[in-house]
Structure 1
């Protein structure tokens, strides 16, 4: 599969098609000229909700 890091770096890792569209943790195991190589570290990250911050506008 192929994804992007938080810094928008291309990342390639093995995984099945059920992960397409999901946010997953990937452990980076190598680097190439324009991309990173990795392995699936954990299947899924729970969805992030909005934080209730007192006094926020």
Structure 2
């Protein structure tokens, strides 16, 4: 996995973890890896200090 760019917090199980852009896209499509609840754009917060230029 590349450097984490986002922090996601599941609104259903309240689990929080850091993900990169590719994993973010997968989670938006498939839902939380722990409980399966759907995730939305609002559940992801960019990490400060992220140096993504793409």
- Kindly indicate which of the two structures has a greater share of residues assigned to strand: 1
Query: Taking structure 1 as the reference length, what is the TM-score of the superposition?
Result: 0.24
Q: Comparing both chains, which one has the higher relative contact order based on Cα–Cα distances under 8 Å and sequence gaps of 6 or more?
A: 2
Q: Which structure's CA Rg is the greater one?
A: 1
